[in-house]
Amino acid sequence: MTAKLPAPVVLTGRHLRLEPLTRAHVPDLFAAGGGDEELWRWVPVPLPRTLEDMERTIDDRLADPLCEPYAVISLADGRAIGVTCYFDASAAEEQVEIGGTWYARSAWRTAVNTEAKLLLLTHAFEDLGMGRVTWRTDIRNERSQKAIRRLGASYEGTFRRNKQRPDGSWRDTVYFSMLADEWPAAKARLTERLAAG
């Protein structure tokens, strides 16, 4: 199978739906996480304190030619509760990055991240034919690193002084990946975790 680049698509699970991000999602997203310093602590963009700030944050995602962004929609109430993205996709190299992810605090420690990543990974490996999916995160973001490891991703290394944070400090960036031949076992674990509750 020849790999394909991500394109706008709707991916639906039991608890949530991923749909192409638009400006129409901004009010829900601001209600979900605007001004929450803990939520945005490790997201490499300035904290959106106002609705206009959130509009700029979403506009920046939409304008990024290397990003395919999705709103994370709760099926319980139809509201956007976060954002997740594909980045830097290459059909020739059969790889894509998952990142730019944040969720309302109400979604933390729930099935949301597991199901969102299950949907994105299934689409990447099974529909797009990718051979490799990657993640990267701030070395200080231990919660994100644990979540990535729970997906079944492997640690690949740390790039020192790799990216500047919004506060001007420099971060070390931790890299992870999952390969296509590792996906079936990871999928089984994620599916079992979701079924368990």
- Long-range contact list for 46-49, CB < 8 A, 24+ apart? 46/166, 47/166
- pLDDT means per 10 residues, the chain with 197 residues, are 91 97 98 94 90 97 97 97 97 97 93 96 98 97 93 96 90 97 97 88
pLDDT of residue 196: 84
CATH no., domain 11-196:
3.40.630.30
| pTM of the shown model | 0.95
The domain segmentation of the chain, as residue ranges, is: 11-196
Burial of 78 (0-12, 13-18, 19+ CB in 10 A): exposed
Please tell me what DSSP assigns to residue 153: P
Contact criterion met (CB below 8 Å) for 166 and 45: yes
pLDDT of residue 2: 86
Distance CA 195, CA 114 (A): 11
pLDDT of residue 180: 98
End-to-end CA distance of the chain: 34
